[in-house]
Structure 1
Amino acid sequence: MTSRLTPEDQQRVDHYLRAPQHQVERKPFRPWLLLVLVLAVTIGLGLVSRLLSQLVL
């Protein structure tokens, strides 16, 4: 895919992206951890909902 930027603008973008503050090391994405977190929150909120319904009724 070719860039639609002018060469000068592309050079500015490249320079910006090479700056040290934009070279942050990130941990790899772990989808299983995200899935477990979503399930835990869903189950937890479901249990809180059931507890509240028992207290109200």
Structure 2
Amino acid sequence: MPSRLYPEDQKKVDEYLNLPAQKVERKPFKVWLLLLVILGTVIGMGLLSRLLGNLVLS
């Protein structure tokens, strides 16, 4: 796919993308870990709200 930028703008983009700060290796994204964390948080907050509700209403 050809670039839609002017050549001088494309050169600036290429220089920026080749900076060492842009070359950081990242771990692959783990969807299941994210879902587990969200599920744990929701369950934990639900249990906490039930506990607080029982303490206040008792």
**Cα distance in 2 between the residues matched to 1:46 and 1:2:** 52
Runs of 4+ in 1 over 3 A off after TM superposition: none
Q: CA deviation at 1:9?
A: 0.4
Consecutive unaligned residues of structure 1, counting only runs of 5 or more, are none
Amino acid at match of 2:12: R
Amino acid at match of 1:35: L
**Cα distance in 2 between the residues matched to 1:30 and 1:21:** 23
**Cα distance in 2 between the residues matched to 1:54 and 1:7:** 67
- The answer to whether residue 34 in structure 2 is matched with residue 40 in structure 1 is no
- What's the secondary structure of 1:3's corresponding residue? coil
Q: CA RMSD in A?
A: 0.9
- What is the number of residues matched between the two proteins? 57
